[in-house]
């Protein structure tokens, strides 16, 4: 009986000691792009016992596994366009020693043309950073994810329209479309981390709501005839203050855009090469504004393309 009482006392004291401990402070791990130092979102860090972490828009993971604190830990790194070199066994990863409150950082190499800026919808955009006391003034919208974005300009605002929208309160979410507005140029500088504030259409409880479907249908004139097709002017097909589309027939090499101006290219016919990569009809690619190799080359005869960019 005395042994049982002694054991109960020890367990009670140990429980009280555990309750009195301060909460574990996570270890801040940041993933950045080699050469630029840009934070890389949506990179997976996976331990050898399959616990997975994903970087937020700051490229940050708040690592909080007590069992691995202070221990040399291997993280498998998966970046979908950002990677580390393989080791002798073909594994891509990094070995770190996480400790509470410590700040760790490592670089990954970008293997795709475009630089990843970050997510603009959904939840947890800066959740990992907030766990380590950063970006505490940021508040996510009450949506967990959105699908099939469409944009339109109306009344001096940029309208954002999504299809299926996932909400926290029930699996079905909103399946009639949700919408939000921003200014016409909501992102002043395309450098991460991206903080895009979307002004959602909400219900009387302040939650994102579906659009007024019946009223929207009443606004459509189904007897309206199709507009007359735009007639091209030389290479220029369409020009707007926010974008322009050109069609090029490419017989010789040509600079796709000046340095500092991006371009989106669609190969129409023939084959093209840019930055050492070949493209065939139907393939899109982005030439970033910072890419030094600006020339685009025809690969054989009959090459043509669509070029989309912002007027300078």
- In contact, 237 and 230? CB cutoff 8 Å: yes
| Enclosing domain of residue 154 | 145-218
Q: Give dist(CA 285, CA 266) in Å, integer.
A: 7
229 assigned to some structural domain: no
- In contact, 29 and 43? CB cutoff 8 Å: no
Is the pTM here over 0.95, yes or no?
Answer: no
247 assigned to some structural domain: yes
What pLDDT shows up at residue 2? 47
Verify that 166 and 214 share a domain, yes or no.
yes
89 assigned to some structural domain: yes
**CATH number of 292's domain:** 2.60.120.10
261 assigned to some structural domain: yes
Three-class HEC string of 45-104: EECCCCCEEECCCCCEEEECCHHHCCCCEEEEEECCCEECCECCCCCEEEEECCCCCCEE
What pLDDT shows up at residue 294? 93
5 assigned to some structural domain: no
Tell me the two tokens of residue 296.
């685009």
Verify that 37 and 112 share a domain, yes or no.
yes
What pLDDT shows up at residue 65? 97
Verify that 162 and 104 share a domain, yes or no.
no
259 assigned to some structural domain: yes
What pLDDT shows up at residue 311? 86
- In contact, 59 and 163? CB cutoff 8 Å: no
Verify that 106 and 34 share a domain, yes or no.
yes
Q: What is the pLDDT along the chain (312 residues), one digit of tens a residue?
A: 444 444 444 444 454 444 556 788 999 999 999 999 999 999 999 999 999 999 999 999 999 999 999 999 999 999 999 999 999 999 999 999 999 999 999 999 999 998 999 999 999 999 999 999 999 999 999 999 988 889 999 999 999 999 889 999 888 888 888 999 999 999 888 888 989 999 999 999 888 998 887 877 787 888 877 777 777 788 999 888 899 999 999 999 999 999 999 999 999 999 999 999 999 999 999 999 999 999 999 998 899 999 999 987
Verify that 110 and 149 share a domain, yes or no.
no
* Tally of structural domains, the chain: 3
Mode of pairing for the β-strands spanning 44-46 and 60-63: unpaired
139 assigned to some structural domain: no
């Amino acid at each position: 009986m005395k042994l049982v009482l002694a054991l109960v006392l020890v367990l009670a004291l140990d429980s009280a000691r555990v309750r009195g401990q301060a909460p574990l402070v996570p270890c801040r791990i940041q993933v950045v792009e080699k050469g630029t130092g840009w934070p890389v979102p949506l990179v997976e860090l996976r331990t050898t016992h399959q616990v997975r972490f994903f970087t937020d828009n700051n490229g940050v993971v708040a690592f909080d596994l007590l069992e691995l604190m202070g221990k040399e830990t291997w993280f498998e790194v998966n970046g979908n366009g950002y990677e580390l070199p393989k080791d002798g066994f073909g594994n891509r990863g990094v070995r770190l020693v996480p400790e509470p409150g410590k700040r760790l950082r490592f670089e990954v190499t970008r293997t795709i043309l475009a630089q990843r800026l970050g997510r603009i919808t959904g939840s947890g955009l800066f959740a990992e950073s907030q766990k380590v006391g950063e970006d505490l003034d940021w508040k996510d919208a009450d949506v967990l994810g959105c699908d099939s974005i469409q944009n339109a300009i109306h009344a001096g605002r940029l309208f954002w329209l999504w299809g299926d929208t996932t909400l926290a309160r029930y699996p079905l979410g909103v399946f009639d479309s949700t919408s939000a507005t921003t200014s016409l140029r909501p992102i002043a500088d395309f450098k991460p981390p991206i903080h895009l504030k979307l002004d959602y259409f909400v219900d009387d409880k302040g939650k994102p709501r579906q659009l007024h479907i019946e009223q929207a249908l009443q606004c459509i004139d189904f007897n309206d005839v199709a507009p007359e097709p735009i007639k091209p002017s030389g290479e220029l097909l369409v020009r707007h203050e926010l974008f322009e589309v050109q069609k090029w027939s490419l017989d010789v090499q040509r600079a796709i855009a000046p340095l500092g101006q991006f371009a989106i290219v669609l190969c129409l016919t023939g084959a093209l090469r840019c930055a050492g990569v070949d493209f065939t009809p139907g393939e899109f690619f982005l030439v970033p504004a910072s890419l030094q190799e600006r020339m685009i080359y025809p690969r054989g005869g009959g090459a043509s393309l669509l070029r989309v960019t912002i007027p300078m």
